[in-house]
């Protein structure tokens, strides 16, 4: 069973770094690939985006403020649902699978078994 913890600034930084790397790679390869091999570049854009989103969907979970239920979402839901940041941290607008409440869910970070053992 996986457990969750509240997201910290470090988690946001990690996400931002991954996005920055992704954009940098696209920027550099774009210069060389776009004119002659634009389809390779498009594949790189799509592939990179898919990897980023699937990583994000797998690494995060959400907390319902109404019933306290903690749940994960699919890659598709992650891609299409609105999200943002407020003073309390990150949020994502989702429907709770437990109480059907639609609201801004608190973002949690999934801790894997290996990491949990290491940090103890």
CB of 66 to Zn ion, least distance (A): 5
Q: Closer to Zn ion by CB, 18 or 69: give it.
A: 69
Q: What element of type H or E holds 86?
A: strand 83-86
Q: Which chain residues interact with Zn ion by CB under 5 A?
A: 64, 66-67, 69, 96, 98-99, 101
Q: Closer to Zn ion by CB, 29 or 101: give it.
A: 101
Q: Closer to Zn ion by CB, 20 or 99: give it.
A: 99
CB of 91 to Zn ion, least distance (A): 14
CB of 88 to Zn ion, least distance (A): 17
CB of 81 to Zn ion, least distance (A): 15
């Amino acid at each position: 069973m996986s457990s969750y913890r509240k997201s910290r600034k470090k988690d946001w930084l990690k996400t931002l770094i991954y996005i920055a790397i992704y954009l940098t790679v696209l920027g550099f390869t774009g210069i060389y690939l776009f004119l002659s091999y634009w389809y390779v570049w498009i594949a790189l854009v799509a592939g990179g985006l898919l990897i980023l989103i699937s990583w994000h969907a797998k690494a995060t979970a959400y907390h319902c403020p109404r019933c306290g239920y903690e749940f994960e979402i699919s890659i598709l839901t992650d891609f299409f649902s609105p999200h943002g940041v407020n003073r309390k941290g990150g949020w994502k607008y989702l429907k709770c699978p437990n109480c059907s409440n639609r609201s801004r869910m608190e973002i949690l970070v999934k801790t894997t078994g290996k990491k949990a053992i290491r940090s103890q």
